[in-house]
Structure 1
Amino acid sequence: MLASGAAAVAVLAVATSAPLIAYAAAPALAIACWRNLLATGAVAPFVLVRRRTELRTLARPEGRRRALWCVLAGLALAAHFGTWMPSAQLTSVATATALVATQPVWQGFIALGQGRRLPALTWIGIAVAVLGAALATGADVGFDARAVAGDLLALAGAVFAAAYTALGEQARRTISTTTYTTICYGVCALVLLVVCLASRTPLTGFTSSTWLAVIGLVVGAQLLGHSMFSYALHKIPATTVSVLILLEVPGAALIAWWWLGQVPRMAALPGLGLLLLGVAIVVLGGTRTRTPSIPPEAGPPEAGLIRTVSKRWRWFRRP
């Protein structure tokens, strides 16, 4: 019962992400920058107190290769936030959320590039998801060029999210969750800060409601949502949780409809439905790939993010 409740809270928490981004009266890059700066600030004190020995090890020559994986993951995460968050302000919340949910599809292609075999059912899911994405984006072609740009950015965000997960998998083999998270989010925040300064994107002067939206993103999607999914994984199979995560898409659409007055475009709904069906098939088909389990690791609420992501897509790994 508690696990089911945690999963429900997590779905609701992550579903608020895109509506909050669309609601915030600030540039998406600035929101992404503050989101990661605040998240880093929430985790860094714990690491500086409890993980100082590990940090010193990463600074030595023998640890620099492991630290490099963290840095590369941070760069990929910055690219993810830098593409997906603007997409939520350019296209509809429903479409942006659905397109970024294609991450497992791109994760499959990364696994293929690494020489791993994918089940036939996974290929069927990929084909269905790609067809759904094409239909959803095609519906926006006749609607608004701005929406099409948002669709493409959301797809790019899914690709970078898959790269972030793949790189994080390498780093997490030998680095604790909290240390990895601090370095990764810190690099991501620094990159986004440089981009904002170079592009003269304002980082201050926002309304109080915008700052509340940013805090909501950190506390909701970035901390609470993934932490509850992590808790649910102790009682609910990872495959079930992965499919439940897809409920973020209709959840975000309903919140945007109720709160922002964004009525989903009817022409895009068939494509979005096929897209979600394809992703679900990819997730379910991937369970046929046997993998070793990832041992849980204790840590603060933020630790749930990486643990959840690793378990969400662990079926793309081979022994």
Structure 2
Amino acid sequence: MAVNLSRPQGDRSTVLAIATLTLAVCAISFAPIFIRFSETELGANATVFNRMFIFFLVFGLGKFLTRTPAIPEANPVPEAAPETTQAQWLLLLGVGLISVISLSLWAISLQYTTVAKCMLLNNLTPIFTSLGSWLIFGKKFDKQFLIGMAIALGGAMALGFEDLNGGGGLLIGDFYAILSAVFLGTYFLMVEQLRNTFDATTILLWRCGVGSLLLVPLVFFTEDQFFPTSKLAIFAVLGLGILCEGFGQRLIAACMDKLSSSFVSLFLLLEPIISALLAWMIFAEALGVNTWIGFAVVLTGIYLAQSSSAASHGA
């Protein structure tokens, strides 16, 4: 009996991409913890600068040292190299600019609100990512994906609005976190397009290289210090640059040749679960019954969305 192996192979590649994305989420979930530690000495902009600069140094040097020199062939066959268009160069520059805006707003929001709430509001990016995919690229979403997204976002929004009466400071933090989500959604759309041409490390090097340059004058004019000096802050920025950026964000970009930006942004709603647990253990931030119910709702929505055709890249 003939067996069609194409579908199982596709299923295996999707499962591998989701497993990789899960590892990435675990890595970036440490970001708010590291940011809290870094901001005991550095400002928000300097924290983001160190995160990007450390990644650019470590992984840029690693990419340079691991380059394989081309071995000339006796009878080389001419091969047409893919042309990098002007639009792609602009997108590479854009990921740095958009990332700086998003990460800076996120770091500022952590000064006004809790880790759990900041993460939940910031990860409402599926709304903006899906809207952008539909308006700009004409992407279609089936009923199952939309229902799953609505359930997941409903759980996240319920948790986000849980302490709106907590004071003006918290409302300011909410505003910065939601605004950060708009730019984060734009970033995911850019990366999804760039993954058709570039590998994940190249995209992240551009993101961090351009971002670092843009942040230099901002840190210089708004903050007193570029680099940390205390052991805790040094540990924090190394964690941001190597674990969160180098491991987490790079794996997220790597997944986006298989998974759509809309699904990736939806899947990142898992991030607050891990971050909130870490904040509970480290900062003693309370986790009530409503929080656990909200987490369960988010997980249910993601489970429904992951089996939809809209979860795949290019679907």
Does 2:32 correspond to 1:18?
A: yes
| Cα distance between partner residues in 2 of 1:6 and 1:111 | 23
- 1:119-138 correspondence to structure 2 within 5 Å: 119-138=142-161
Does 2:198 correspond to 1:175?
A: yes
Does 2:172 correspond to 1:165?
A: no
Q: How far has the Cα of 1:187 moved from its partner?
A: 0.9
Q: How far has the Cα of 1:169 moved from its partner?
A: 2.5
| Cα distance between partner residues in 2 of 1:27 and 1:245 | 26
Q: How far has the Cα of 1:188 moved from its partner?
A: 1.4
| Cα distance between partner residues in 2 of 1:282 and 1:102 | 17
Native 8 Å contact 1:124 1:281 kept in 2: no
Native 8 Å contact 2:120 2:157 kept in 1: no
- Give the structure 2 partner of residue 296 of structure 1: none
1:147 alignment partner AA:
L
Q: Deviations over 1:40-82 (max 9, x none)?
A: 11222345564999xxxxxxx9754321110011111111111
Does 2:83 correspond to 1:67?
A: no
Structure 2: 5+ residue runs without aligned partners?
1-15, 71-82
| Cα distance between partner residues in 1 of 2:282 and 2:242 | 19
Structure 1: 5+ residue runs without aligned partners?
54-60, 290-312
Native 8 Å contact 1:78 1:188 kept in 2: yes
Sequence identity percentage: 21
> What is the aligned counterpart of 1:31 among 30, 36, 47?
47
> What is the aligned counterpart of 1:195 among 218, 226, 229?
218
- Give the structure 1 partner of residue 165 of structure 2: 142
Native 8 Å contact 2:121 2:160 kept in 1: no
- Give the structure 1 partner of residue 234 of structure 2: 211
- Give the structure 2 partner of residue 155 of structure 1: 178
Q: How far has the Cα of 1:13 moved from its partner?
A: 2.7
- Give the structure 1 partner of residue 309 of structure 2: 288
TM-score by length of 2: 0.73
| Cα distance between partner residues in 2 of 1:135 and 1:210 | 33
Native 8 Å contact 1:135 1:270 kept in 2: no
Largest Rg, 1 or 2: 2
Mean Cα deviation higher: 30-39 or 264-273: 264-273
> What is the aligned counterpart of 2:281 among 258, 270, 278?
258
2:130 alignment partner AA:
G
Mean Cα deviation higher: 28-37 or 244-253: 244-253
- Give the structure 2 partner of residue 96 of structure 1: 118
TM-score by length of 1: 0.72
| Cα distance between partner residues in 1 of 2:225 and 2:287 | 31
Does 2:129 correspond to 1:113?
A: no
Count of equivalent residues:
278
> What is the aligned counterpart of 2:207 among 176, 184, 191?
184
Change (3 A) 1:153 1:128: farther
Q: How far has the Cα of 1:213 moved from its partner?
A: 0.8
- Give the structure 2 partner of residue 40 of structure 1: 56
- Give the structure 2 partner of residue 83 of structure 1: 105
Q: Deviations over 1:164-208 (max 9, x none)?
A: 121123333233433332222111122222322232353245422
Mean Cα deviation higher: 187-196 or 201-210: 201-210
